[in-house]
Amino acid sequence: MATGILPVAGVRLAAAAGGIRYQNRDDLVLMELAEGSVAAAVFTRNAFCAAPVIAARRHLGQAAPRYLLINSGNANAGMGEGGLAASLETCRLVAAAAGVAINQVLPFSTGVIGEELPVDPFARAMPDLLSSLEEDNWPPAACAIMTTDTVPKLASRSFQAEGQTVTVTGMSKGSGMIRPDMATMLAFIATDAQISATNLQQALETAVGPSFNSITVDGDTSTNDACVLVATGVSGVDVNAAASGQAFRQAVDGVCMELARAIVLDGEGATKLVEIVVEEAESEAQARDVAYTIAHSPLVKTALFASDPNWGRILAAVGRAGVSHLDISKVRIWLDDVCIVSRGGRDAGYTEEAGQSVMHQPGFTIRIALGKGQARTRILTCDLSFDYVKINAEYRT
């Protein structure tokens, strides 16, 4: 088990090599959940949602899940009815081998869009997956769900309640095609806490807002994004109550934030982690519009890669973000604590050396005050490097 990663009672995982797209590496994961587990999930808002998203949503509405089946290398997206049939067949394979109902299996896929998902690798790997299920297999599972990721992404938290230890552990994958709605990412988080399905869903949605739904690498929303939170209840600790519930939500928030930050840090070719804070907006929606306009500007992102404090690019992005009746004399912009823009232009105290000193850091904050209200937001993004173009140009070759 990786340092600091805690097993979750009632959850066992296994990874296996199916050869779906990658050779000589694991690309299939099976997660077994204790009987009586409850699950919550949020999915992509892309209209062309992948077949496994359709199947997982359907099954979640019908039965309590016992198994999650995940594959990398093939997204099973854009394949119409044939894609849905393949996804359901993989669920049937698990159900038949494990002795559960087909709707107790939730499928998830990530990888290349528009290619038929082969079912044979699932059938061949199923005996190995079922025979190698272990509580401490989080690290190999996190590696198996990777596509263009360069590192596995794992996080754990624990807290004390009713004299017992409650654990929350999660894994995620994501590196490119990252934009909220869900943010291409998959995330699977588990806890041994006892909680109602309604409270679990609420905890997940609350955690996803400032974490997975506040990150962007390139502005693209995938067809396959999903985030699942399961609670086995094996610890016997009821976190529906106010006191223990607060500790539980903090643990879930912490795991989601750590995983989301890891996704941006591992953005394809990324060299910088940049927080964009927009404050003094009329609404959070307005603040987010400004933040994402900056984060998605290729000119801003390439300047970040070059460590070039070309503040005119940030200024221009703010100006075209659609803020009505923006009084530019009230707008202020900072790089960390260095004010670069005030009173409608370059701040009187700004120097190129000070700006460049900030931009050379591997991580820093761009902060914008709009001078219009009290609303505030923050998102995480990264730079756009040569490697991003190379990785995505060569993704299918």
Q: Which active-site residues does the annotation give?
A: 184
Burial of 238 (0-12, 13-18, 19+ CB in 10 A): middle
Question: How many residues are listed for the chain in this entry?
Answer: 397
109 phi-psi bin (left φ>0, alpha ψ -120 to 50, beta other): beta
Give which of 154, 156, 147 is closest to 268, Cα–Cα. 147
Give which of 182, 258, 175, 256 is closest to 218, Cα–Cα. 175
Sequence-separated (6 or more) residues with CB below 8 Å from residue 130: 14, 30, 97, 98
Please say whether the beta carbons of 194 and 231 come within 8 A.
yes
Q: Where are the beta strands (DSSP E) in the chain?
A: 11-16, 28-33, 38-43, 67-74, 105-112, 153-161, 164-173, 186-191, 226-231, 273-281, 332-335, 338-342, 345-346, 363-369, 375-382
CA distance 278 to 84: 41
* Cα angle value 215/218/224 (rounded, 5°): 75
Please say whether the beta carbons of 175 and 50 come within 8 A.
no
Q: Which two tokens stand for residue 350?
A: 């700004």
Instruction: Output the CA–CA distances (angstroms, integers) from residue 224 to 70, 155, 231, in the order listed.
Output: 11, 22, 23
CA distance 159 to 251: 8
Q: Which residue has the tokens 């000193």?
A: 357
Q: Which residue has the tokens 């209209």?
A: 47
Q: Which residue has the tokens 């604590």?
A: 337
Q: What share of the chain is helix, strand, coil (3-state, %, to 5)?
A: 35, 25, 40
